[in-house]
Amino acid sequence: MNESLLRDLVPAVIGVLVRRGAEFAAAEDAVQEALIRALETWPDDPPRDAKAWLVAAAWHKFLDAARAETSRRGRELTVEFDPPAGPVSATDDSLWLYFLCAHPSLPPGSAVALTLRAVGGLTTRQIAAAYLVPEATMAQRISRAKRRIAGLPLDRPGDLATVLHVLYLVFNEGYGGDIDLAAEAIRLTRQLAAATDEPEVSGLLALMLLHHARRASRTGPGARLVPLAQQDRSRWDTGLIAEGVAILQAALARDRLGEYQAQAAIAALHADAPSTAETDWVQIVEWYDELLTLTPSPIVRLNRAVAVGEADGPRAGLAALADLDPELPRHCAARAYLHERGGDLEEAAALYVEAARLATTVPERDHLTREAARIRQALRS
């Protein structure tokens, strides 16, 4: 059974239930129950019409829950219980659900979880495993998110920028548990790109594909981080790179530049280079300048400073870093790298040690510690 294809049906089924009179939260719960039932029964008894089966199962789950609530309250429901006759509507509600789940009233973490449930079709257990948290914790997060949007007008969802940010957050979670969130984010962004004609959606999809193409080379034995300069480029997925570049070029041709398109252009230049030394660093700096006009982020300025160090030399890079807050994440690591490139190994070793102390993840800390040890070994030899 193709679970990805099954999950693709979830937004449409939720939409059917909502149009029949169900509240969003109740519809989403009912569809999740039907989805679990499908995963249990379809391998042995697949339906002829998958969408119709899910609609029928979810509608019955909804009616059971509604009748139970009616009995508890001791009054009749106002919802019509008999589903309309005829074929299931082919209306695609995916785009509507994207925007609803990315409502501006929701904090980013809740929006991500709700998107994975309602649009991605993942179960609470799968989402919890991917985020390495207890299932009960994730269930509470999702319940709070649904309560936050309960009663909100369904014609006032979040904007596209919020939707794209949520998908970007999903992609950056990478991999955990039995769900590959990077691949899931790509799947969802493909759906969004098919449903809307916005170049920034294509830009985000291109960015994801170009980054995902390097995934196999990013870690070595023992899950060690492998920096871009040391990655085995023969392991990069050339098919994903070609697809990402083609999508990006079509988006840029629309002449409506956005931050995801600019980020994708930088990723494409890295993907196109045979080696770090042959990378077009001057053009990368130019794209960082474009990106800064769109989003004056300190992280973008830091990454630009490193690119300046590659294009114009480590002293120029350090001068660009000097204008930034030294408390910025990875600031110390960037200084260490540029000092090493400039030949100041004593300072580089000390900065790598400090950067390791400041690292927020174990793989990053271990990598920076090894860099410090490598330079100290070079100083002794």
pLDDT at 140: 92
pLDDT at 76: 40
pLDDT at 157: 55
pLDDT at 116: 87
Structural domain count, the chain: 1
pLDDT at 346: 96
- Asked, for residue 359, whether it belongs to a domain, the answer is no
- Asked, for residue 374, whether it belongs to a domain, the answer is no
pLDDT at 355: 97
**HSE (side-chain half, CA atoms, 13 Å) at 223:** 7
Helices (H), the chain: 3-8, 10-19, 24-41, 50-73, 94-101, 108-118, 124-130, 135-149, 160-172, 181-195, 199-212, 238-252, 259-272, 281-294, 298-312, 314-321, 331-341, 345-358, 362-380
- Asked, for residue 106, whether it belongs to a domain, the answer is no
pTM over 0.85: no
- Asked, for residue 94, whether it belongs to a domain, the answer is no
Measure the CA–CA gap between 123 and 22, rounded to whole angstroms. 20
pLDDT at 153: 61
Measure the CA–CA gap between 56 and 158, rounded to whole angstroms. 30
3-class DSSP assignment, residue 259: helix
The answer to whether 120 and 190 have CB atoms below 8 angstroms apart is no
Domain of 37? 3-73
pLDDT at 293: 97
pLDDT at 2: 67
pLDDT tens track, the chain, 381 positions: 567 777 788 888 888 888 888 888 888 889 888 888 888 888 888 888 888 999 999 999 888 888 776 655 543 444 443 444 344 444 456 677 788 888 878 888 888 888 888 888 888 888 888 777 899 999 999 999 888 887 766 555 567 888 898 889 888 876 555 678 888 889 889 989 988 899 999 999 999 999 999 999 999 988 899 999 999 999 999 999 999 999 999 999 999 999 999 999 999 999 999 998 899 999 999 999 999 999 999 999 999 999 999 999 999 999 999 999 999 999 999 999 999 999 999 999 999 999 999 998 888 999 999 999 999 999 998
- Asked, for residue 32, whether it belongs to a domain, the answer is yes
- Asked, for residue 39, whether it belongs to a domain, the answer is yes
- Asked, for residue 175, whether it belongs to a domain, the answer is no
- Length of the chain, in residues: 381
pLDDT at 287: 98
The answer to whether 193 and 150 have CB atoms below 8 angstroms apart is no
- Asked, for residue 54, whether it belongs to a domain, the answer is yes
